Chain A
Amino acid sequence: MAEVEETLRRIQSQKGVQGIVIVNSEGIPIKTTLDNSSTVQYAGLIHQLVMKARSTVRDIDPQNDLTFLRIRSKKNEIMIAPDKDYFLIVIQNPSD
């Protein structure tokens, strides 16, 4: 339990990190550092995107699997680390 907190705190303290959301496989946000409305938005939208990305990778090569997904936009970068049951979403403002 404490290690989880430790890990999240470490990520949060990195340069440029704006927020962290942990979502479970059903789209329920478990832990978040953003406000409620953004959390719900991120959880719902990104969940669908990750499902789509994963199915795309597996369609192309069934032996393959999605390990990481980065969405770079004008304002920030959304990084998603998927797992079997949970995703970790981090929003970072890259250095420039």
Chain B
Amino acid sequence: MEIVHVYTKLRSEFGRQYLFSDRPTELLVDIPPDPSLAMQFITKTPRDQATQACREMSEHQVNTERFESESRGLNHMEGGWPKDVDPNDMEQTIRFRKKVEKDESYMNSILQLGSVMDHYIRQNNAINIYQDYFTEDQDIDEGQEAPSAKTINVFRDPNEVKRTVTCLSWHPDGGRKLAAAYCCLEFQKSSKDLSPDSYIWDIENPNQPELALKPASPLVCLDYNPKDPHTLVGGSYNGQIVYWDTRRGSQPVELSSVEHSHRDPVYKIIWLQSKTGTDAFSASTDGQVLWWDVRKLNEPTERLVLDPGREGNLDRALGAISLEFEATMPTKFMVGTEQGLVVSCNRKAKTPAEKIVCTYDGHHGPIYALHRNPFFPKNFLTVGDWTARIWSEDIRDSSIMWTRYQMSYLTDACWSPVRPSVFFTTKMDGVLDVWDVLFKQNNPTLSLKVCDEALYSLRVQDNGRFVACGSQIGAATLLEICSGLSTLQKNEKSLLAAMFERETKREKILEARQREMRLKERSRSEQSREDDTGRDADGDESPEQLIARAEEDFYSVVEAERKRREERHRVSTNHSKP
């Protein structure tokens, strides 16, 4: 059967009929080529154009905010036992097991699995596939990988009001813990809600400090006892020395008495090498260096006043900002002062006057860090104002090597404990510099911007790979240095020794020359003074005369300049007049 659909439409409803007509072609527009326009274009041959037909994609990097993580454990109890069997009941479990063992499928599968397993066990025993086959060829050069450092963790001050991290100390046993002293060092900025706590962090857990140390006044510096990793000693803002034992909790075990402590914040405290392992010494800007026995903190065992005149006069004493003590040289120590002098002292001197052996004058401002090179104890590094300087103990007048004046103030420095030619410095613009004197002397080998705020303290861990630096807002950052900067290179010690020798010799020669010149001057001035005893020698002018002369010179120069400007102005107005 045919299926037909009928469609009807009235003719009047159709549209108008199309009437097509043909027409010859007509030129509408003719645009001839204009060769002059070609001058504005450059032929570019050959053209290399890459096209790709794909979806548009863009690459974005996102870093999450620090997340809080917590460790949780899950206890696995024996599970899966059918309901009628009680897992704790030995008899029932044994009975269940025996039942399973009698099962056909059990036997078959075990037989089959057993043969498979047998094969692999034998395979293991035959050849050790992870054996080092090509050990001789593995000593190839690591290649000149670019020096780098990676941030591993950031430990932030958990308090609301952020304080500066003023001092860091690594746990002596393996360095799994870091003690950080927090204090607001700005003058009179400490508010009432400033917490005096300092914290000990476990480096694996940046979310929460492991232990809080609660002194009476905020700590400016602290140090772990290298002999007993449970004890710490700290110097606080009000000048007291505080002693903790981490086994006994957050409260200090002992506090030094206020009358006998320092009168200014204690800027540095270091444990000493002693038979009892309980001696420490501290330095403060009140000009004193005090020795303490931590078993009896009510009075210091010894006192030294940093008077350059060697008279023990406290009024003329220099304020001490940093201390240096090397365990290999237990009788000597060095103090860095606010006035820019490094004072080298001998502890075993008989009289207090002889305690101060010599001074090194180098910096324009306070010496914030002082550190001896662990491989070459005769050379030490100081940091103050905008430079870092390396000194040799024998040369008093100047440092043997120094860096350029940096863009921002240097706040702390230390040598690397594994590489004698590497040292680290921190700056007030938040940059950590790693200097390798054997590689590059003008610029740091590696410059890392750790954070936007100023960095105030720095400490390298004993293995030389981890560096902790503390910033102004209380964030201590833990960085890992690449292996190139933390493994001893061949000949490094001898090359560095040669470099220090050379620089020391240069300074010695310069010093000798200076001395000669001074001698000559003096002999010449003596002669000239003998010649004209009547005349007032220039060198004998009193300060007032000098000032008067300076004023005269100044005013005459100003007058001359003013006159010159007037002349110029008059001349120009003359020119502008018609």
Interfacial residues, chain A to chain B (CB-CB below 8 A): 1, 3-4, 7-8, 10-11, 14-17, 22, 24, 26-31, 40-41, 43-45, 67-68, 70, 72, 77, 79, 81, 83-88, 90, 92, 94-96
Contacts and interface: CB of A to CB of B under 8 A. Distances in A.
Contact of B100 (A16, A24, A84): A24
Interface string B63-107: 000000000000011111100000000000000110011100111
Interface stretch (B18-26, B110-118, B180-188, B447-455): B110-118
Contacts of B80: 24, 26-28
B101 A27 contact: no
B90 to A, nearest CB: 10
Interface residues of B, number: 32
Nearest to B124: A94
A84 B109 contact: yes
Nearest to B122: A14
A90 B128 contact: no
Contacts of B116: 67-68, 81
B121 A1 contact: no
Given A1-B102, A31-B101, A83-B112, A88 B117 contact: yes
A4 B128 CA distance: 29
A85 B105 contact: yes
A95 B224 CA distance: 44
* Majority secondary structure of chain B interface residues (helix, strand, loop or mixed): helix
Interface string B38-76: 000000000000000000000000000000000000001
Interface in B124-166: 124-125, 128, 130-131
Given A45-B76, A96-B128, A10 B111 contact: no
A78 to B, nearest CB: 12
A16 B120 contact: no
B95 to A, nearest CB: 13
Contacts of B117: 11, 79, 81, 88, 90
B109 A83 contact: yes
Given A8-B114, A10-B114, A31-B97, A86 B109 contact: yes
Given A28-B81, A30-B97, A95 B125 contact: yes
A8 B107 CA distance: 11
Contact of B107 (A4, A44, A87): A4
B114 A86 contact: no
Contact of B124 (A1, A4, A10, A92): A92
A95 to B, nearest CB: 5
Interface centre among B109, B115, B116, B118 (most CB of A within 10 A): B109
B109 A95 contact: no
Given A10-B114, A24-B100, A68-B120, 5 more contacts: A1-B107, A8-B114, A29-B78, A31-B97, A92-B124
Contacts of A68: 116, 120
Contacts of A45: 76
Given A1-B107, A7-B110, A79 B128 contact: no
Contacts of B107: 1, 3-4
A77 B129 CA distance: 12
B111 A7 contact: yes
Nearest 9 CB-CB pairings of A with B:
A26-B80, A7-B114, A44-B76, A88-B113, A27-B80, A81-B113, A83-B109, A94-B124, A14-B121
B113 A16 contact: no
